[in-house]
Amino acid sequence: MTITDSDLKRARKRLLQMHFESRVGHIGGNLSCLDALMVLYHEVLTPQDRFVLSKGHAAGALYTALWSSGRIGDDALKTFHKDATLLAGHPPASGIDDILFATGSLGHGLSLAAGAAKALELKGEGGMVYCLTSDGEWQEGSTYEAMVFASHHRLSNLKILVDHNQLQGFGTTSEVASMAPLGDRLAGFELDLKVIDGHDLGAIRAALASRSNTCQLIVMQTHKGRGVSFMEDRMEWHYLPLGAEQYAQAVQEVEAR
């Protein structure tokens, strides 16, 4: 089902609501990848496909996309970050069929996705494996190991998305440990590289629809806190929870956009 602006607004508001009600942060990096996750879950993923959220701190965006696409209910979202919930701050190890792996420690997801892709190939099964990474986690050595593996095995059933919002835990990616320009650095691997606007639904759809004879990597230029003026491109929204007034303003801005 093709998503509309209305679907995106509804998802963005629900994401803000769940974070506000649970008084937790990580909102900025959730909003930067929500558009891509919405396209993936509404328009792309089939029962044969796999998805690995390597940037596990965007669990809120994942839960929201699962909710929006009817895979989990609203009652589940209401438990987000609460005691006895399945919806922890990072994806759980079990209990939700659409979540294959507990992630949250950066640098694991790409190897898991590459392993799933290689397994599908060995089993002679179709289906694509999608993996969403942050940009900061390309500083992890294990991500480099995974890229070497994926490239060497020419995993044409693996599609890697990078949420390149250029902000990490304690500074910009350029200030902390620059890999800029990220696309150029990664182009040395024999892969099919695309750099797109990660908030342009058309560009996301086109990149996700394309096929290649090798591993594909889509660098999505995004904005942390996308859709909320006081959050956009601000590092502190990696952490901060929303106050009541901020929440009201954020919802109003999403509605008006």
Partner 1 sequence: MRKQFCDSLVARSSRPEMVFLTGDLGFMALEPLKEAMGPRFINAGVAEQNMVSVAAAMAREGLDAWVYSIAPFCYARPFEQIRNDVAFHNLPVKLVGNGGGYGYGVMGPTHHAIEDYGVLLTLPNMRAFTPVFDEDVTEVVERAGEAGAPAYLRLGRGEPPPGYAVPAYAPWRQLTSGQGAPVVAVAALASTYIQAFADLPDDARPNLWAVAELPLSRNPPPELLVEQIRRSGALAVAEEHVRCGGVGSELALMALDQGWRINRFDHFYARAHHYETYGSQAFLRAQSSLDPASLLAVLAPHLKAAG
Q: Does 115 bind partner 1 (CB under 8 A)?
A: yes
Give the residues across from 134 on adjacent strands: 163
Q: Which stretch binds partner 1 (CB under 8 A): 113-121, 170-178, 195-203, 210-218?
A: 113-121
Instruction: Tell which positions 152-171 bind partner 1, by CB under 8 A.
Output: 152
Query: Three-class SS string for 80-132?
Result: CCCCCCCCCCCCCCCCCCCCCCCCCCCCCHHHHHHHHHHHHHHHCCCCCEEEE
Minimum CB separation from partner 1 for residue 131, in Å? 11
Query: Pattern of binders to partner 1 over 37-76, x per CB under 8 A?
Result: ----------------------------------------
The whole-angstrom separation of Cα 58 and Cα 47 is 22
| 164, burial (CB in 10 Å: exposed 0-12, middle 13-18, buried 19+) | buried
Q: Which stretch binds partner 1 (CB under 8 A): 24-32, 68-76, 111-119, 240-248?
A: 111-119
Q: Does 122 bind partner 1 (CB under 8 A)?
A: yes
Q: Does 20 bind partner 1 (CB under 8 A)?
A: no
Pick the closer one to partner 1 by CB: 114 or 162.
114
Pick the closer one to partner 1 by CB: 92 or 241.
92
Q: Residue 25 contacts by C-beta under 8 Å, 6 or more apart in sequence?
A: 19, 237, 238, 239, 240, 241
Distance of CA 2 to the CA centre of its chain: 19
Written as six digits, the tokens of 155 are: 């995993």
The whole-angstrom separation of Cα 188 and Cα 183 is 9
Q: Does 27 bind partner 1 (CB under 8 A)?
A: no
Q: Classify the C-alpha dihedral 63-28-197-158 as positive or negative.
A: negative
Give the residues across from 194 on adjacent strands: 218
Minimum CB separation from partner 1 for residue 186, in Å? 16
Q: Does 190 bind partner 1 (CB under 8 A)?
A: no
Minimum CB separation from partner 1 for residue 142, in Å? 4
Q: Does 93 bind partner 1 (CB under 8 A)?
A: yes
Minimum CB separation from partner 1 for residue 56, in Å? 10
Where does this chain bind partner 1 (CB under 8 A)? 93-94, 100-103, 105, 107-108, 111-116, 118-120, 122-123, 141-142, 145-146, 148-149, 152
